[in-house]
Amino acid sequence: MNLKKEQDESQDIKAMQIKDINTSIRKANLKGVINKIVQTGGPTIFSISDGTGNITIKDFVKPGQRAYPEIDEGSFVTALIKVGSYKGVLEGEIRSIEILNEQEKDLLKQEIKRLEIDGIKVKDIGFLVDNRILDKLKNRFILAAQQIKLAIVQERPIIVRHHNDCDGYSAGFALEQSIVPLIVKQHHTPKAQWEFFLRAPCQAPYYEIDDSIRDTSNSLRNAAKFSNRMPLIIIADNGSCEADLMAIKQARIHNIEFIVVDHHGFDKDVISQEVLTHINPFLVGENGSAMSAGMLCVELARYINNDVKNMSHIAAMSGYADRIDLTDERVVLNYLSMAEKEGDNRELLSDIGLVIEYVSSKVRFMEVREYIEVLFGEPRDKQTKLVSLMAPYIRDLDRKGLAIGKAGAIQEKFGNLVLQTIEIDKFFPGFGFFPKPGRAVGLIHDNYVLETSETALITVGIMNTAVTIRATTAANFSIHSLKVFLMEQLPDSFVEGGGHKNAGALNFIPCMKNDVVRLLKEFITQKNKR
C-alpha cells in the first residue's frame, strides 16, 4: 500500500455504471439487481448487474454467516463499494447496501430492460447468399439471435449439442465461433469460454434422453456449486424429430431452454411448442435437402455476432458433406465461390470433411474444442498439415473398407432393379473399425454405381438387429414404406427407425433378421410389379 493509493481513498464517491468500473476507481455507487448470492465459509458474495455489466460484491459478518439476509436474489439495491480485485477479476467490498424503494426499483427495472434490449438488439445484416429458404426463415433467425444474446447478457451458460457428422460439426463450430467471443466479453475473462460454453456431439442421430439427463445433471451441479443459471441448449443438425421430444421435455422441467436448428424431416412437428425458436426449412414449406444445418448455423452465427469472419467455407463444406448440391447446386456453389476467395477449394473442403468424419468417430462424445478448431482452420497452417497427413490415410482405410465390402456383397436382379446386400457382422471386424457400417454401406453403394453405371440400385447392410439402407433416386425406394410394410407383415419384429427417402436404417429384434430380409425382397418384388 503506497501513499498515492491512500490519497485515492479520499476521492469523491461516484455514481456510476458497472461497465465503467476499473481499478483506477477507488469507490463507487451502484444501482442494480442481485442475480446470484453465494454463502462461502467466509463472506457472503453477491453478484449485481445493472444492464451494462456485472460485478461481484461481498461482505463478511463472521465465518459462514449470511450478510444482509434481507437481500434476496432478485432484489433491486443501491450499494456503495470499495473497488478491488481478486484473482485478477474486479470486485467490490460492500460499504453499504440498501434495497431500493418501489419507485426507484421501477425506474431501474425499466432502465435495465432498456439496456438489455439494446444489448440483444439484432442487426438485420442479410444473408451471405440469395436464397428463398433463408428469406422465409429470417424472422426465426432474428428471434433466435436475440434469445442467444439475451442468454449471454443474463450470464446463462450455453450448450451446443450437434449431430455427430461433418454437417453437425460445421453447425456446432459456426455457433461456437460467434458465441464464445461474446461470452468472453460479457464476463471480462477468457476463462469464461470454458465455464459458460460447451459444444459436444450427440452420440445417437437425435438428442436422446441420456444426453438430456447428463446435461441436466451437470447443470444442476454447477447451479448448486457455483450458483450458475440453468443453460440454454442449442440443438444443431438434430432436434426436429419425435425422437428428440422426451429429452427436451425432461430438461425443460429443470428450467433448461432450447433452440433447435435442423434440416431433417419429421412426420409431425411436435418440437416447436417446446422450444424458444425452431429453425427448419420444412417448417416453412421447404425441403431440408436443399439446405444443410451447417449453412443455417453459419447464417445464424452472423446474426448473433456481426464480427464473425471466415464462415463461408464452413457452409460450403457442410453443403457437400450432406450432398445439398444434389438438390440445389447453386447455393453450395455460391458459398464455395466465397470460400475460394479465402483460399479454400472444393478438394480441400472435401478432404477436411473426410478428416472430420474420421476424427468424430474417434473422439466420440468428447468436446476436444481446440482440436476441432485446428480442423476448421484455426490456425490455417496446422489445418493444412493435418489434412495433408490424415486425408490420404483415411482414404486408405476407406479403400480397405470398400474392398472388404466388395468381397462380401451379393447382387440380385429384381426386374430393372439391383438389390445389393452385405452381412456386416460376417465381413466387418466390429467395434472400433473405420469405416463404420453406415459409411461402409455408402461406399459400397456408390462404388457399384460407379463401376457398373447401374442407375436403379438399393444397397442394404444387414446386421443382427438392424439394416442400413442406401438407394439411388432411380430405384424409387422409400424406407418409410418399407417400415410400414414390415410393421404390417411382421408386427413381432418391433421395427423402429427411418431416415430420408434414399438413406436410413431400421431396427428390429434379433430373431427376426431372416424374416426382415425375406420381406425386404418381397417388398421390392411387389413394388417392381406395380
- The distance of closest approach from Cβ of residue 424 to a second copy in the complex, given in angstroms and rounded to an integer, is 10
Rank residues 1 and 450 by Cβ distance to a second copy and give the closer one. Answer: 1
Instruction: Tell whether residue 125 is a contact of a second copy (CB under 8 A).
Output: no
Tell me which residues in 267-326 interact with a second copy (CB under 8 A): none
Q: How far apart are the first and last CA of the chain?
A: 92
Instruction: Tell whether residue 250 is a contact of a second copy (CB under 8 A).
Output: yes
CA angle, corner 327, sides to 324 and 329, nearest 5?
70
Nearest to 310 by CA among 357, 376, 359, 356: 376
Count of CB atoms situated within 10 Å of the CB of 436 = 16
- The distance of closest approach from Cβ of residue 268 to a second copy in the complex, given in angstroms and rounded to an integer, is 18
- Contact yes or no for 342/310 (Cβ under 8 A): yes
Nearest to 348 by CA among 399, 388, 295: 388
- The distance of closest approach from Cβ of residue 400 to a second copy in the complex, given in angstroms and rounded to an integer, is 7
Q: Which residues sit opposite 260 in a β-bridge? A: 235, 278
Tell me which residues in 98-117 interact with a second copy (CB under 8 A): none
Rank residues 347 and 381 by Cβ distance to a second copy and give the closer one. Answer: 381
Q: Among 42, 126, 343, 415, which residue sits at the site for a second copy (rule: CB under 8 A)?
A: 42
Q: Which stretch binds a second copy (CB under 8 A): 169-177, 279-287, 342-350, 382-390?
A: 382-390
- The distance of closest approach from Cβ of residue 97 to a second copy in the complex, given in angstroms and rounded to an integer, is 18
User: What are residue 186's phi and psi, to 5 degrees?
Assistant: -60, -40
Q: Which stretch binds a second copy (CB under 8 A): 277-285, 438-446, 469-477, 507-515?
A: 507-515
Instruction: Tell whether residue 514 is a contact of a second copy (CB under 8 A).
Output: no
What stretches of 50-106 adopt beta strand conformation (E)? 54-59, 76-86, 89-99
- Interface with a second copy (CB under 8 A), residue total 79
Instruction: Tell whether residue 87 is a contact of a second copy (CB under 8 A).
Output: yes
- The distance of closest approach from Cβ of residue 269 to a second copy in the complex, given in angstroms and rounded to an integer, is 20
Instruction: Tell whether residue 216 is a contact of a second copy (CB under 8 A).
Output: yes
Count of CB atoms situated within 10 Å of the CB of 199 = 23
Rank residues 11 and 526 by Cβ distance to a second copy and give the closer one. Answer: 11
- The distance of closest approach from Cβ of residue 249 to a second copy in the complex, given in angstroms and rounded to an integer, is 6
Tell me which residues in 447-466 interact with a second copy (CB under 8 A): 464-465
Q: Among 430, 450, 451, 530, which residue sits at the site for a second copy (rule: CB under 8 A)?
A: 430
Q: Which stretch binds a second copy (CB under 8 A): 39-47, 231-239, 309-317, 468-476?
A: 39-47
User: What are residue 336's phi and psi, to 5 degrees?
Assistant: -60, -40
In the DSSP assignment, the letter for residue 431 is T
| Three-state SS sequence of 165-209 | CHHHHHHHHHHHHHHHHHHHHHHCCCCHHHHCEEEEECCCCCCCH
Instruction: Tell whether residue 415 is a contact of a second copy (CB under 8 A).
Output: no
Q: Among 122, 270, 509, 517, which residue sits at the site for a second copy (rule: CB under 8 A)?
A: 509
Count of CB atoms situated within 10 Å of the CB of 211 = 25
- Contact yes or no for 315/347 (Cβ under 8 A): no
Tell me which residues in 171-200 interact with a second copy (CB under 8 A): 187-191, 194
Helix (H, G, I), strand (E, B) or coil at 409: coil
Instruction: Tell whether residue 395 is a contact of a second copy (CB under 8 A).
Output: no
Letters for 54-83 (x = contact with a second copy by CB under 8 A, - = none) are ----x-x-xxx-------------------
CA angle, corner 303, sides to 280 and 261, nearest 5?
20
- The distance of closest approach from Cβ of residue 89 to a second copy in the complex, given in angstroms and rounded to an integer, is 5
